[in-house]
Amino acid sequence: MLKRLFFHQSGPNFKQIGYAVSVVFNQAKDGHRYAEFFVVHPIGYVQRAIANQGSKIFPKFVAFLKSKDANDGTEQALVEELKALDEHLKNHGPYVNGEKITAVDLSLGPKLYHLEVALGHFKKWTIPESLTHVHNYTKLLFSGESFKKTNAAKEHVVAGWGSKVSA
């Protein structure tokens, strides 16, 4: 049985931002898992002002990762975006839109995972400890069952970004 995850909120200040896809897996006799069926359901409405929260983190991460000049400002630009997210989560968290996960969170989760893995590997860099709300947010996202089942292995993330870093 499916049920809507969020109450419908309409009007000019709200925007539906996506759908969640539930996948039901079965184990075949040969040991392989296969998707039996997919269920698509809306995952919520968020205020338009919140829908783009954290949207600049990924481009800032990529710029910093590719940067060969430690003084070009790319690290500080990334930290400023993470500080903005931290402040937002402090006031509205634990998720971007409050108590319930939305597509914004589902979009940010993998990006923050790539950020942590790639920058940790290639630059020995971590999200500053002072950004406690971002750290709590990533722990919350990364501990979710869907994230655990779908995230890429760290070595695959490193291999994927390797060619971008050396270019």
DSSP string, 75-126: HHHHHHHHHHHHHHHHHH-SBTTBSS--HHHHHHHHHHHHHHHHHHHHS---
- pLDDT at res. 122: 97
- Over its C-alpha atoms, the chain yields an Rg (Å, rounded) of 18
How far, in Å, CA of 69 to CA of 59, rounded? 17
- If 0-12 CB within 10 Å is exposed, 13-18 middle and 19+ buried, where does residue 114 land? buried
Residue ranges, the chain, pLDDT below 70: 1-49, 167
- pLDDT at res. 97: 87
- pLDDT at res. 16: 44
- pLDDT at res. 49: 65
- pLDDT at res. 166: 79
- pLDDT at res. 46: 57
Residue with tokens 């630009």, as numbered in its chain: 77
> Which domains, and CATH codes, for the chain?
50-166 (1.20.1050.10)
The closest alpha carbon to 134, from 76, 64, 85, 96, belongs to: 85
- pLDDT at res. 47: 63
Supply the pTM of this predicted model: 0.73
Q: Running DSSP on this structure, what letter comes out for residue 42?
A: E
Cβ–Cβ contacts within 10 Å for residue 28, how many? 9
